Copies of this chain bind each other. A is one copy, B any other.
Amino acid sequence: MNASVYATFLVAARDQPGLVARLAGFFYTAGLNIVDASNHTDIYVEGGASFYMRMVVDVSGLSTPAASVALGGSSSRGALERAFADLATTLSATWSVRYSDMVQRVAILCTKDPACLYDIVLRQRSGELPCEIPLVISNHPTLESVAESFRIPFFCLPVAPNSKREQETQVLELCRRHHVDLVVLARYMQVLTEDFLKEAPPVINIHHGFLPAFQGAKPYHQAHARGVKMIGATAHYATKDLDQGPIIEQDVARVTHAMGPEEMARVGRDVERVVLSRAVRAHLERRVIVEGRRTIVL
C-alpha cells in the first residue's frame, strides 16, 4: 500500500459529548493521519440533535507496527473496519468507508441531448470527476457517436409503452454486470419506477428548474409563463416521488422579460451542467449524507 491511498469515512450519530475527540482519537491511536475533516451538528433533525462527520484518512500508516497493535494484531483494511465498527456501535453511529484506490464506476443515462453527456465525460477525462465511466445507456440511438468518440460502450435500450419494466430490468442488469456505483441521469427523459430505484445504485438527477418551484414537465415554459426573473437548476437524488428527492446542489441565472422559453432554456443549460457536475463530484468525494429530505454536504 503506497502513500497516496486515502479512506474517507462518513459518520452520522445522535449528538453526544466527545464525538469529535473519540472519532479523531480512534485514528490517532492507530497512527493514521487525518488529512481532512469536517463535521456538523444539526439541531433541527426531528427526534434530537444529530452529528455528522467526514474524515479523510491516510491509510499508508496501516503498515506500521503501531497500527497493528491498535487494531488487535492485524493491519488490514478489514481489521480497520472491524475496529471502527466497534466504536460506531458504542456511539450508535451509522457509517461508511470508501478507499481512493477503488475508483467508483458511473453509468450515464441519457436520451437525445448531447450537452450533459459531453460535459460529464469531459470533466471525467480532465480529472475533475474521480471516477470511471464504463458505459452509457440511452433509450435512443442519437448519442451513440458521442459515446464512441470517447470509446465508451453505448447501450441503446428503447422504451415502448408496455416494455418499461423490461427495459429497466435490462438497465439494472447492465449496471450489475459493469459494477456500477452511481447512476447519473444526464437529461434522461424517462421517469424511473419505484422498483428500479429500490434495486439500483444511488441515482442523481438534474432537474432544469429551481425546485420546489416548477416541478414536472417543461419547467422553462412554466417559469416563462409565471414571469420569474431568475431560473435555476437542481441536482437531487432520485426517489419514488418525482422531483421530491433530497437536493444536493442548486444554482440560478438571471433572466429578463425579453427572453422567451427557448432563450431561458439556453441560459438554463449552462446552469444545469455546472450544478449536475458539482453534485456528482460531491457524491464521488463522499461528501453527501442524506438526512430525511435534506442533504448534509461536508
Interface residues of A (CB under 8 A from B): 17-18, 20-22, 24-25, 27-29, 31, 33-44, 114-115, 118, 122, 125-126, 128, 149, 210-214, 224-230, 232, 246-252, 254, 256-258, 260-261, 266, 270, 274, 277, 292-297
For the complex, give the distance between the alpha carbons of A33 and B5 in Å. Answer: 33
Whether A293 lies near B256 (C-beta < 8 A) is no
Cβ of A217 to closest chain B Cβ, rounded Å: 16
A interface, by DSSP: helix, strand, loop or mixed?
A: mixed
For the complex, give the distance between the alpha carbons of A118 and B227 in Å. Answer: 29
Tell me how many chains of this kind the complex includes: 4
Most buried by B among A18, A21, A31, A254: A21
Whether A24 lies near B33 (C-beta < 8 A) is no
Whether B40 lies near A39 (C-beta < 8 A) is no
Whether B21 lies near A257 (C-beta < 8 A) is no
Q: Which residue of B lies closest to A26 (CB)?
A: B21
Whether B128 lies near A122 (C-beta < 8 A) is no
Whether A247 lies near B232 (C-beta < 8 A) is no
Whether B37 lies near A20 (C-beta < 8 A) is yes
| Additional pairs, 16, CB under 8 Å, beyond known A38-B38, A228-B250, A257-B297 | A17-B28, A18-B28, A20-B37, A21-B24, A21-B28, A24-B24, A24-B25, A40-B258, A44-B224, A114-B126, A118-B118, A211-B213, A212-B226, A225-B294, A227-B247, A257-B296
Which B residues lie within 8 Å of A295 (CB)?
227, 257
Cβ of A31 to closest chain B Cβ, rounded Å: 8
Which B residues lie within 8 Å of A115 (CB)?
122, 126
Whether A247 lies near B226 (C-beta < 8 A) is yes
Q: Which residue of B lies closest to A258 (CB)?
A: B40
Cβ of A150 to closest chain B Cβ, rounded Å: 9
Which B residues lie within 8 Å of A38 (CB)?
38-39
Question: Taking A212-B213, A230-B252, A252-B230 as contacts, is the C-beta distance between A39 and B42 under 8 angstroms?
Answer: no
Which B residues lie within 8 Å of A224 (CB)?
44
The one of B18, B20, B228 in contact with A20, judged by C-beta atoms closer than 8 angstroms, is B20
Cβ of A26 to closest chain B Cβ, rounded Å: 8
